[in-house]
Structure 1
């Protein structure tokens, strides 16, 4: 059945050349763990992307039950946690994945730095990678408030005050994030919108650029 469906699509869109171009792409020997044990450090980027995909899929599931207002936010999370089948597992994956993706991205960044992979002709990819790192931190920060419990509320207050201390633009950042005089209903709505719509759109665009440059420039070699 799958083969028939593939052939039906291939007859109309001619996807086989595109698929073969991806599947037959050669991988350098130095990133093959079967030949070099040190090649495992070149897997950090792929693992980071894998965790990112899990975060996106689990986040899509969570939004089916989450209510982004201060009256129902905590109750919706509690309902998901205790009433929805496998809800506690999916939320746990999203919760711990948010921390794990930062750890893996940090390890990937260290590998790129210490192997000199940020040098010509890959300077732009390094800049894009740093932008992805920043977006990931933003996703972690904006997602932390969404359960709307005491820890999330006061931690977000601290984070916004730190952002407000940025010279010249701190006040504008605080207004953008907080949306009012105090952390409240507007803040939660803005954090939800930034977390679910704005930052993921930027992330997907940056990831596309990141992978296109990797494909054109190839995987960097060891020093």
Structure 2
């Protein structure tokens, strides 16, 4: 059945050459764990992407129930955990995945750095990876407030005070994030939700696309 569907699509838009260009790509021997135990360090990037996919899918599920206003945010999270089938599991995956993805991204970055994979001709890909790191940190920071509980509220206040200390643009940055420079309130929650669900994911998708294109063109770096 699947073959018939594939053939039907391929007959109309000729996807086989595209698929072969993506899939028929030799992987260097030094990244094969069957040949070299140290090759496992090359899996950090793929594992990071796997966790990112889990975050995206679980986040899409959570937005079906989440209400981004100060009256109903916590109630919607509570309802999700107690009334929705498997809701607690999905929210737990998203909650812990937010920490796991940072750990995996750090390990991947350390592997690239200590093996010198950021050097010529991969400098641009290194810079793209650093931007991805900052985007993921931003996703973690903006997502922390969304449950709208005491810990999230006061942690966000601390985070906004840190943002305010950025030279030259600190006050403007805090106002941009909080909406109101004096208090964490309804505007802050709405802006954090918009940034977490729309702006940062859009930036992440664009950066990941560039990252994968560069990897595809330049290949996987070898050991020192």
Same fold, judged at TM 0.5 (above): yes
Residues in 2 aligned to 1:215 and 1:188: alpha-carbon distance in whole angstroms: 39
Return 5+ residue gaps in structure 2 as ranges.
none
1:151 paired with 2:151, answer yes
Cα-Cα RMSD:
0.5
Residues in 1 aligned to 2:189 and 2:104: alpha-carbon distance in whole angstroms: 28
TM-score by length of 2: 0.99
Residues in 2 aligned to 1:152 and 1:45: alpha-carbon distance in whole angstroms: 30
Alignment of 1:112-127 (within 5 A): 112-127=112-127
List 4+ stretches of structure 1 deviating above 3 A: none
> How much does 1:22 deviate?
1.7
Residues in 2 aligned to 1:157 and 1:24: alpha-carbon distance in whole angstroms: 50
Return 5+ residue gaps in structure 1 as ranges.
none
> How much does 1:166 deviate?
1.0
Partner of 1:220: 221
Partner of 1:39: 39
For each residue in 1:10-68, what CA deviation from the matched residue of structure 2 results, as whole angstroms up to 9, or x when unmatched? Answer: 10111111111222100000000000000000000000000000000000000000000
> How much does 1:147 deviate?
0.1
Residues in 2 aligned to 1:85 and 1:54: alpha-carbon distance in whole angstroms: 18
For each residue in 1:143-184, what CA deviation from the matched residue of structure 2 results, as whole angstroms up to 9, or x when unmatched? Answer: 000000000000000000000011111001100011012100
TM-score by length of 1: 0.99
Residues in 2 aligned to 1:116 and 1:9: alpha-carbon distance in whole angstroms: 43
1:128 paired with 2:128, answer yes
Partner of 1:19: 19
1:188 paired with 2:196, answer no
Residues in 2 aligned to 1:132 and 1:104: alpha-carbon distance in whole angstroms: 13
Partner of 1:204: 205
Partner of 2:161: 161
